[in-house]
Chain A
């Protein structure tokens, strides 16, 4: 859960540190690409953070904005509470490792999200729970090769083509556009095993918080779905915040 905003902006987690000066061009394309992937993985900040974010779902009928606050610790622990609109207010989600629970005040139930539900859309967005749960390092599960260069957001980017080397991955192939200096992923295309494009992710704004570069605005799009995608905006980030352990417990879902 380190390179993209997918989890960051939904459960509202993650930010990525800028680590400039990686000598990608010095090695052969495959080795260099693998090293870049390592670098992107290293950019994940394992510390804690509290974030407030907004997710605007551009539906076919209307746009809908959902605000949330998330408490995140490392890769494995995240707690999110939805703040707005009123219908969604009070819904909470807890992620511990590879387990996910949700609580809705309307039912006063803690519901485990697993199996088929993982493939469902999160709050009607273009993201699935499965996308949210991705937390393995890319360098562990993908083989990378360089696939050209392009400028994104006025930043020079390397394009990497990633192919899965393990079976149980949600996306068999990805193409990512990586900022050469900050090692931030600015664009991503996700493909199925058949080679069909399934989802796209494009960063539209990058900002520095407490000296760290993070993607603050991005558009995530399920290309198989009608609509104009889901836009994520990070409104505030508090790095290295002190989060009591009790936040990451099922008891906190009902509070």
Chain B
């Protein structure tokens, strides 16, 4: 029977082409949008992870409790050993110590006395070691608007508004004044190697980036760091996996009351990201649900139209003695087949495109030159397991329901008046 129906569909293009194309296009849009939204969500997670939170972050208990103030008097010590242990315990992760700090940048005049001063919020990361991924993670490559990245010790990057306010250009000298890890006065002279437009006003106004070795020397933090963010290397951010890693690390820490005990916080535990991600998930879910509903209505309508177009054919079949139930079931069977084929085709094309966008993305660097916000330079889709079956909801169900509703008319038709109807 199925084979019979399938042959009928294949041989009568007018019966299959329009419904098939409608279903395929609808499913393609649904799956494509789903992957794109998942890609955007993934990029927000990765963007925050790269820039600030890591997938997880190791800090002392005390530091974690006040992390918005970056209290370096509560920094981790023995960082080299700790990173080695982390690498051994969690081989699927990569770790990079960072220091966040505050202070002042003082610009000298010709006599070496204060000409201008500005408050700075600094980030220190490994930006000088060859092969370090930190430059990419911090998005520095695309944000330097004047000068270049630091190439040697003693060079720093500063935010564009800060540079303009202090009248500092690449090559200019400035003195950093801050506090050491022990609370002493920290001062050091630096050369501005480049000016950065972070795109975030607060960072452009106060941002400063220096190599972590320089920061450790200036802030008296030898083998110490405020935080050690970690990122998965064996896969993307997955909440369950990340929470599992943090739980494993925190087993020994949970019993300790010492504020210097290292603890691991997940991305969701930091910077109110849990609420943001939950909200984002809810909004994305709503957008996808609305889109699926809209597509379902389109495909349902398509099922209805398809059935109504065959009003005459159904009349003939009934007039020839085919049972109403048989016609109805045949139509439903055809709808399932068309829906299935259309869904497979639509999903296949959407997944192919999404996989391409996941791997290569769309480079929007050209559009970001004058951008006012810090954005990822490559927009990517993300294919998740759900992307493989989400198209079946509008693709098969809606076509089937549309046909089922339209097909109810079969039972309302009077056999006695069929010939009369067919004559006209």
- Same complex origin of A and B: yes
Residue numbers of A with Cβ under 8 A of B are 57, 59-62, 64, 66, 87-88, 91, 102, 104, 106-112, 114-117, 120-121, 123-125, 226, 250
Is A64 a contact partner of B62 (Cβ separation < 8 A)? no
Docked CA distance A61–B182 (Å): 7
Complex partner residue of B182 from A59, A108, A117, CB under 8 angstroms: A59
Q: Is B52 an interface residue when CB atoms closer than 8 A count as contact?
A: no
Collect the chain B residues with CB atoms within 8 Å of residue A110's CB.
112-114
Docked CA distance A66–B119 (Å): 26
**With A104-B187, A111-B175, A117-B117 given, is the CB distance from A124 to B180 under 8 Å?**
yes
Docked CA distance A106–B189 (Å): 8
Interface flags, B57-68, vs A, CB<8A=1, else 0? 000001000000
Docked CA distance A57–B183 (Å): 9
Q: Is B179 an interface residue when CB atoms closer than 8 A count as contact?
A: yes
Is B117 a contact partner of A123 (Cβ separation < 8 A)? no
* B153-200 CB contacts (< 8 Å) to partner A: 175, 177, 179-185, 187-189
Shortest A229–chain B CB gap in Å is 12
Docked CA distance A107–B74 (Å): 26
Complex partner residue of B179 from A87, A104, A121, CB under 8 angstroms: A121
Q: Can you spell out 18 A-B residue pairs with CB atoms less than 8 angstroms apart?
A: A60-B73, A61-B74, A61-B181, A61-B182, A62-B182, A64-B182, A108-B112, A109-B106, A109-B113, A109-B175, A111-B187, A114-B117, A115-B117, A116-B119, A117-B177, A121-B179, A123-B183, A124-B184
Interface flags, B93-122, vs A, CB<8A=1, else 0? 000000000001010100011100101000
Q: Is B259 an interface residue when CB atoms closer than 8 A count as contact?
A: yes
Collect the chain B residues with CB atoms within 8 Å of residue A59's CB.
73, 182-183
Residue numbers of B with Cβ under 8 A of A are 62, 73-74, 104, 106, 108, 112-114, 117, 119, 175, 177, 179-185, 187-189, 220, 259-260
The residue in chain A whose Cβ has the minimal distance to the Cβ of B111 is A110
Is B114 a contact partner of A111 (Cβ separation < 8 A)? yes
Shortest B387–chain A CB gap in Å is 49
Collect the chain A residues with CB atoms within 8 Å of residue B259's CB.
60
The residue in chain A whose Cβ has the minimal distance to the Cβ of B77 is A61
**With A60-B74, A62-B182, A121-B183 given, is the CB distance from A106 to B117 under 8 Å?**
no
**With A87-B220, A116-B104, A117-B104 given, is the CB distance from A61 to B73 under 8 Å?**
yes
The residue in chain A whose Cβ has the minimal distance to the Cβ of B113 is A110
Shortest A121–chain B CB gap in Å is 7
Collect the chain B residues with CB atoms within 8 Å of residue A66's CB.
184
Shortest B124–chain A CB gap in Å is 18
Collect the chain A residues with CB atoms within 8 Å of residue B187's CB.
104, 106-107, 109, 111
Complex partner residue of A112 from B113, B179, B260, CB under 8 angstroms: B113
The 4 closest A-B pairs by CB, nearest first: A124-B183, A112-B114, A104-B187, A107-B187
Docked CA distance A125–B183 (Å): 7
Shortest A39–chain B CB gap in Å is 36
Shortest B404–chain A CB gap in Å is 69
The residue in chain A whose Cβ has the minimal distance to the Cβ of B106 is A111
Is A123 a contact partner of B185 (Cβ separation < 8 A)? yes
The residue in chain A whose Cβ has the minimal distance to the Cβ of B183 is A124
Docked CA distance A112–B183 (Å): 20
The residue in chain B whose Cβ has the minimal distance to the Cβ of A250 is B113
Collect the chain B residues with CB atoms within 8 Å of residue A114's CB.
117
**With A60-B259, A87-B220 given, is the CB distance from A109 to B112 under 8 Å?**
yes
Docked CA distance A60–B75 (Å): 11
Docked CA distance A116–B116 (Å): 12
Given contacts A59-B73, A116-B117, A120-B104, 14 further A-B pairs with CB under 8 A are A57-B183, A60-B62, A60-B74, A66-B184, A108-B112, A109-B112, A109-B113, A110-B113, A111-B177, A116-B104, A121-B179, A121-B183, A124-B182, A125-B183
Collect the chain A residues with CB atoms within 8 Å of residue B182's CB.
59, 61-62, 64, 124
Complex partner residue of B185 from A60, A62, A104, A116, CB under 8 angstroms: A104
Shortest A109–chain B CB gap in Å is 5
Collect the chain B residues with CB atoms within 8 Å of residue A112's CB.
113-114, 117
